[in-house]
Every structure is written in C-alpha cells, then in structure tokens.
Amino acid sequence: MNRLFFSTILSLSCSLGWAQAYRSMSIWNDGKSTDYQLVAVDSLQFVSDSNAVNLYTKKNVSLKASDIDSITISVPDVTSTNKKTVSQLKSEFSTVKIDATSFKPVGSNNPLMGHKFGADPWGMVVGDRLYVYMTDDHLYRSTNGQPITGSFDYTDCKKIAIISSEDLVNWTDHGTQPVAGSGGPASWASNMWAPCAAHKTIKGKEKYFLYFSNNSGGIGVLSSDTPYGPWTDPLGQALINHSTANCSGSVVPSVYDPAVLIDDDGKAYLYFGGGTDNLDPKDPGSARCVELGDNMTSLNGDPVEIRPPYHFEDSGINKVGGKYLYSYCAHFNTGGGSPGNGNIGYMKSDNPLGPFTYVGKCFDNPGGASWSGGGGNNHHAIVEFKGKYYMLYHNRALKSAMRSSNPDINDNVELRSTCINVISVDTVRATIKNLSSSEITQAGVKQLKNFDPYVKVPGATMAWENNVTTEYQKVGNNYICTANLQAGSWMCLSNVGFEEGTKGFTARVKGRGIIKICSVRPGKTGTDIAYVEVESPKMWKNVTVPLVSVPKNGVTARLYFVSSGNISIDYWSFIK
C-alpha cells in the first residue's frame, strides 16, 4: 500500500516555510531510497487527485504515486532567519549594478589594503598573527570639507591604522584609531606618524606598547591590553623630545621614526631620530638609541649616538644571529655614496646600544618598481614571521590606480600604501641580502595557510574589495571595526578552507539589503553559497542561514560577499 505523509509535510511547511527550510528529501520504494537535495527548493507540489507527485528541486522530478512507499524530509540543524524565499532574495540583485574591478587587482597581494591607505609600516608578531601599524595617510580635507590639493601636508595625520593577518594575504582591519589631538588619548600631541609597537609581560600580564612620532618634535608612548587597542596614555606627555639629553635640535633636527626591540633578557631599547639640517649630509650623526625602563614608558639612561652614513629618517632594529642590525633610510642627495638616494642601509653591532658599523644597502627605494606608482620618501620594517623574514614598505600603487577616477588625487597629494615582500636574511652571518626594486612585485607573498571560515571572523577582513569602507566605533563597552557595504559593493577572501564541511552561515549585521556569498567574481554566473537577509537598519542583529549550495570539502579559491543594499558587518562565521 502506498503511503504519502501529506499531513506531516504540510505541518512542517507551515511552521518553517519552504525557503531554505529543508536539507534533503528521501523517496522510498521497496526498501530503497532516492535522495534529493532541497537546500535551494522554493516549493513542493503534491497533486493527489491525478495520482502524481511533482518534486521541485534543482531539476523537476515527476513521479507516480505508485512509485512511492513513503517520503522522508529532513530538517537541517540551521534554522534560517530569512523571511523571503531564495528566488525573492536572488531577485534583489537583478537591478543592482556591480563593478567587478578593484583598485587592488584580485590575485595581487600588494598593496596589503585596497580600501584605504597606510604608510610607514611596522610589524609586530603576536602568536600566529602579524600586526602592521601605519601612519593614517588619507585624502586630507579642509575646514569646508573640500579636499586639500597641491600640498604634501601631513599635519592632518593624527590616527593610527592597524591591520593583522595569519596568512599575509587576507587582512583584518582593526580600524583607523584616534591617537593625537582632541579625541585621542595623546591629546597633548599634534600628530601621529611612523608608529612602532612591542609587547611584554609586566607583573604577570601581557601589555602592548605603541610608540609614535609627534610630528618631528618628539616620541610618545601609549599602552593597551591588546595589540589592536584601544590605547591609553600613561604619561600625558612625550617620552622623548628635544629637551631630552643629547636630543637638542642642533644635533637631532627630527625626533621621530621610532623602532623598538625587546632583547632576549627582557630589556627593551628604542631607536629614533634623523634629519640633516646644518649637519654633515655624509655623516649627520642624528640617530639615537636608548634603553627603556622595565615599565616600557621611561628611559634607563640617556640616548646615545648612532652614525649611519647619509642618514635621514626611518629607524629599524632586528636581532639576528646574536647581532644587532640597525637599518635606516638615506636622504636623497647622497652623490652616489652608499646606500644611495632614498635606499635602506644597515649597520651591525655586538651590543644593542652600539657602537654600530656600516655594512651596506639592504633595500632599493621601491619607487623604481614599474607597478609602484612612482618614487618619493622611503620607510621600512623587517620582521620575522613563521620562519621567514619579510620587508614591509610603502609605495603609491593604490594612489596611481585611483587617479583616473578621483580628480582630487594629483601629484602633490601624498597617499601611500603598505606592501610586503620576502627578504633574504643570513641568520648565521647576520647579513641582509639587498632586495632590489625589480624583486618587489605586485604579486607579493604566497598565502601561508588556508583561511579558517569557522572562527569568529571580524567583518572588516578581506584580501580584495570594491567600494567597501571600514569604521572604527564603540559599541557598548567594546570597540569594533566594521565593514560597510553599499549596493553593488563586494569583498573577497583568498583560499578559504572548508575541509571540515559546512552546513550554515551566521553573522552580526546591521542595515537593509541582501548579502550574497558566492565563489565566483560578481557579475559572472557561478555557485551561490548563501543569501543573507538583513532587515535591521538601526540595531545590530544576529542572522543565521543554511546554505543554498554547500562548498565542496576542501579549498574555495575565492569567497565573495556581495551586497544589494547598505549593510554593516561586525563579524561572521560558517558553521561546521
């Protein structure tokens, strides 16, 4: 006797709705079953009077009642917060204009960010993540809201930009955070330039310290309980300025560009200084180093002199093979003397406070690379991460890509972007092989590991994007950085690892519109993985949806998030 369980099916459809309600259907006959995936089903139609059953899945299936003993419908663990059907959600994109291009080309890993600028990078490793701290380069605005053009004015740089990554391709934006001036923890300071950071266990608690340039007149220090802030000012004044011993303006024209090192014995050292005003350009002697106190916010002794040839700015410090390598940027009038105009040179010492001996050049000015967007000042940081050494630097590639679509960007508007490339360091001889401009590529570095989609991923995490902005804001007692998308905006992740499978997606969002998650570039036909309905314009809301198509277990090369409206994302994750 054939059995059709209409009452059960209808009761389920009433309570859950057809849109993404069921995971699968099994049709049984003579002890055997045929399974149908129903993750994309919008309707099932049972026509009993004609003795037939129509099953609407990806392909229409028509069966006679005589072919069926029973029907089993399984409900997924993930209950959808969507109210619309899949067809309705898809239709939201029918009128949305999507530009599939991006200023940072998909597949290129330099610069690190395509949605904003950042200069003078410093790298700090915490656990499995590399944190990068940068000057907040941006399109400066005058008091009437119009762009300031025709000037290299850095006086509007008062914030710090912080990003981090486990794989060096997908980067989490921790926000452009206030530092100097009104609204910043260092209200006494006028600017925030060229930061560096370190962390140390103090009284049993891990503390993070941020050192920054107050224009060229001093070094400030901030502290935090996390590597990404928020920051507080423990001193309420500069740690070092022109009144500090051996740092007067006549011998150190610019007290700026700090670098910090915590040695194996726990002692910490700060390196800074530069400028050539009224000094011998071949040997200005304007660089300084000093031991920090155990609290990281005081000095243990007076700064002492370092004498890098043709030095101008940009201190760097690394301990390699038991030696201390001090690196720096030369000025732009070396007359052929090593390390050459705007290049990075380095020195070596057996002791953290010197004396240092000049070794040679270790990095060409990146402006010589064809894709870099032109020359200009140089700044660098060398960081060891997961067994390799990397050179962090900035160039003008993103500015160059944006010029054709933004009339406010011209030669005299200074907008720099941080990049990264592998650099060869001999850890036995404590030497650095020069990284030439021809070796720094837009392709950048290889991704170190697959991206983990199962963890709580901050919304402002991406490798590439189009028309996405990020916002650092306080929500309750916490500070977050959100990704803000408009109609047609998208962001993309590289090599996402679905090795453990997935059955759903969850996020904390705000706004109105639809998020489409897919594995092909927007505008192309391909696999849609999930649709997320966002209908909360004023309040943050948690949403959860099953998938309309389950990614194969393994690596998804590109994972896109596409928006049909104005949506902010706090965080998201896929459900195993």
From first CA to last CA, the distance across the chain in angstroms is 40
Assigned token pair, 178: 């206030």
Q: What is the DSSP string of 438-490?
A: TT--SS-PPP-S-B-SSS-EESSEESEEEEEEEEEEEETTEEEEEEEEEEEEE
Backbone torsions φ then ψ of 169, nearest 5 degrees: -125, -45
CA angle 319, 320, 326 (to 5 degrees): 55
Instruction: Determine whether 256 is exposed, middle or buried from the number of CB atoms within 10 Å of its CB (0-12, 13-18, 19+).
Output: buried
CA distance 481 to 177: 10
CA distance 507 to 484: 14
- The question of whether 42 is a catalytic residue gets the answer no
Contact, 509 vs 457, CB < 8 A?
Answer: no
CA neighbor of 40 nearest in space, from 59, 12, 64: 59
CA distance 319 to 432: 12
Backbone torsions φ then ψ of 280, nearest 5 degrees: -70, 115
CA 217 → CA 117, 182, 212, 256, 481, distances in Å?
Answer: 24, 18, 11, 7, 31
Backbone torsions φ then ψ of 87, nearest 5 degrees: -60, -40
Catalytic-role residue among 136, 313, 314, 465: 313
- The question of whether 313 is a catalytic residue gets the answer yes
Strands (E), 230-337: 240-241, 259-262, 268-273, 287-291, 304-306, 311-320, 323-330
Catalytic positions are: 120, 313
